[in-house]
Structure 1
Amino acid sequence: MKVTLRTDVLTNNNKAAEFNRELFVDTNTFVINMMSSPGAGKTTLLEETVRALSGRYRIAVIEGDLATERDADRIRAMGAKAVQINTHGGCHLDARMVAAALAELDLDEIDILFIENVGNLVCPSGYDLGQHKKIAVLSVPEGNDKIPKYPTMFMRTELVLVNKIDLLPYLNFDVEQAKIDLEGINPESTLIPISATTKEGFDNWLTWIEGVMGYDCSQKNIG
């Protein structure tokens, strides 16, 4: 007898994502899901982003890692709220994990919430967390082959940050080729070269954040 399974394996995740999304809308909280391979520099980028925007917006971060609270501690040291999710071997965050973490945050007191996903260029892209925007961070040391080799990730992101461009003089990475590769996979996406170390390109990243926020954060009582 042939059995056909019609239930979407992501049904429970998608229900939780809708719950999260409604919560974000109700609390007027803008949410960015940040994905990359391990070591691309997501946490350093977030540290510098918190430093740059904390005077204008109230920021919190949900950190996803297999183990430890090291990244969350780094964000807390910047003065932002941070909740750590340890997946204990899982290669991505899902919407139910995020929903549980949200119980530790007062979204009425948060304007921008960053979700730093587990370092992986495969699994995280397939899971809706309820975010407004998905972005990918690609670092110069990873080389030019990542966009063509992991197309699913880059097909599903609205922005690609090419980080560590301060290393361009020392490594064989072609930013223009990365733009061409991204255009071929996802012409609606944007690519911004950036360095969290030297701050080159950082203004373009901050401008992008404020440009895609679909509401006026001044509706909240920003101190």
Structure 2
Amino acid sequence: MCRTVDLRHAVLAKNDGLAAELRADLTARGMTAVNLMSSPGSGKTALLERVLTRAGERGVAVAALTADLATENDARRLARSGAPVKQVLTGGLCHLEADQVREHLADWPPRATRALFVENVGNLVCPATYDLGESLRVVLMSVTEGEDKPVKYPTAFGLAHLVVLTKTDLAQPAGFDEEVFADHVERVNPGVEVLRSSARTGEGVDGLLDRVLAACSGVTPHRPVLARQHLERHGHTHAHEHGHEHAPEAESGPEAAPEGPDEAASDVIASPAGQPSDAVLQTVADGS
């Protein structure tokens, strides 16, 4: 007999606890974390470099923690802004978690820092349900990605406090329909603001920084209708967006019984991403 035990809730609950502690610690330090999420190639790093540079010009102390599977290319790019920057190499992990962020903040960034930008791994699936201790969650998407991306990735867009449309200077040649895009955003996250931006022209750079500073000043951001509790209660997670379904518990009875008397039943423990991984796939004999 084989039973499937889903550890998603336990893993997310542990992460949520760490994220809450981290958020409280950052608040005590007078700092606000901003979680930036997007697909690869959205222009997130280029826009962030412009924002960090502009913050320096405006006399605002900011820092950036940037994550990638490999290379320190983004950290080198962001460091050109003059802001303190750290690189996190996830070693293949497709998202950041709260403990990874916390371990880089023991003696960093400088005390005067008001806003800490956390540039997540380029991915709109895995990072969507992981709280990093942020007070502002921003999802970015470029005009070259298609108007229907919000409805393809409803968890990421549905939990955003702010949506940023990037590379708007390419909207016309790309044939991007902003009205259709806005309708799709509204479907998954009613009332959320969509900010237009372009790292090339500078559009939206001050606007994004202003919204971050508002969060730093205690202004309550947009509250998405789609809360994590709602997601878990309705079984809507990033695993489902990928099309992965967890196997139902095997039926008991003669048909499901092991063939031999010494053959132990096992629990297959699924990872948060909906697929077994080396870290969480375990076979546990009954009675152990």
TM-score of the pair, normalised by structure 1? 0.90
Which of 122, 125, 144 in structure 1 is aligned with 2:125? 122
Aligned to 1:219: none
**Distance of aligned partners of 1:4 and 1:147 in 2 relative to their CA distance in 1, 3 Å threshold:** closer
Following superposition, the deviation at residue 72 of structure 1 comes to 0.8
Cα deviation digits, residues 195-218 of structure 1 (max 9, x gap): 1101123333233223333349xx
Report the Cα offset of residue 170 of structure 1.
0.7
After superposing the two structures, state which structure 1 stretch, 73-82 or 153-162, moved more: 73-82
Question: Which residue in 1 is equivalent to 2:27?
Answer: 25
Written as runs of structure 1 = structure 2, the 5 A alignment for 1:8-157 is 8-54=10-56, 55-157=58-160
What is the count of residue pairs matched by the alignment?
Answer: 216
User: Which stretch of the first structure deviates more once superposed, 125-134 or 185-194?
Assistant: 185-194
**Higher mean displacement: 181-190 or 147-156:** 181-190
CA deviation after TM superposition for structure 1 residue 103, in Å: 2.1
Q: Sort the Cα spacing of 1:3 and 1:88 in 2 relative to 1 into closer, same or farther, 3 A.
A: closer
Q: Return the letter of the residue paired with 2:69.
A: L
Structure with greater helix percent: 1
1:196 to 195, 199, 215: 199
- Give per-residue Cα distances to partners, 1:106-139, cap 9 Å, x unaligned: 4523111000000001111110011001111100
More divergent stretch after superposition (23-32 vs 203-212): 203-212
Q: Which runs of 5+ in 1 are unaligned?
A: 217-223
Partner of 2:190 in structure 1?
187
Cα offset for 1:175? 1.2
Cα offset for 1:12?
Answer: 2.4
Partner residue of 2:228? none
Cα deviation, 1:51-85, whole Å, max 9, x if unaligned, reads 11113211110101001111111111211111111
Q: Is the 8 A contact 2:168 2:198 kept in 1?
A: yes
CA contact (8 A) 1:159 1:190 kept: yes
What value does the CA root-mean-square deviation take over the aligned residues? 2.0
Residues 39 and 141 in structure 2, CA contact (< 8 A), matched pair in contact too: yes
Q: CA shift at 1:3, angstroms?
A: 8.7
Kindly indicate whether the alpha-carbon contact (under 8 Å) linking 1:61 and 1:115 is maintained by their aligned counterparts in 2: yes
Deviates more, 1:63-72 or 1:49-58: 49-58
SS at match of 1:199: coil
TM-score norm. by structure 2 comes to 0.70
User: For structure 1, which segment, 202-211 or 43-52, has the greater mean C-alpha deviation from structure 2 after superposition?
Assistant: 202-211
Q: 1:187, CA displacement in angstroms?
A: 1.2
Give runs of ≥4 in structure 1 deviating > 3 Å: 1-7
* Aligned AA (1:158): H
Query: Whole-Å Cα distance in 1 between the matches of residues 211 and 22 of structure 2?
Result: 23
| SS of residue paired to 1:168 | helix
Say which is worse superposed, 182-191 or 206-215, in terms of deviation: 206-215
What SS does the aligned partner of 1:108 have?
Answer: coil
Change (3 A) 1:74 1:28: same
Corresponding residue for residue 234 of structure 2: none
Which deviations, in whole Å up to 9, do the C-alpha atoms of 1:27-51 show, x marking residues without a partner?
A: 0101110000001011111110011
Distance in 1 of aligned mates of 2:54 and 2:104: 25
Q: Distance in 1 between the 2:39 and 2:13 partners?
A: 26
Counterpart-to-counterpart distance in 1, 2:4 and 2:50 = 52
Q: Answer whether contact 1:29 1:107 (CA < 8 A) is retained.
A: no
Assess, with a 3 A threshold, how the Cα gap between structure 1 residues 82 and 180 changes in structure 2: closer, same or farther. Answer: same
Q: 1-side partners of 2:218 and 2:160: how far apart?
A: 20
Structure with greater Cα Rg: 2
1:159 is aligned to 162
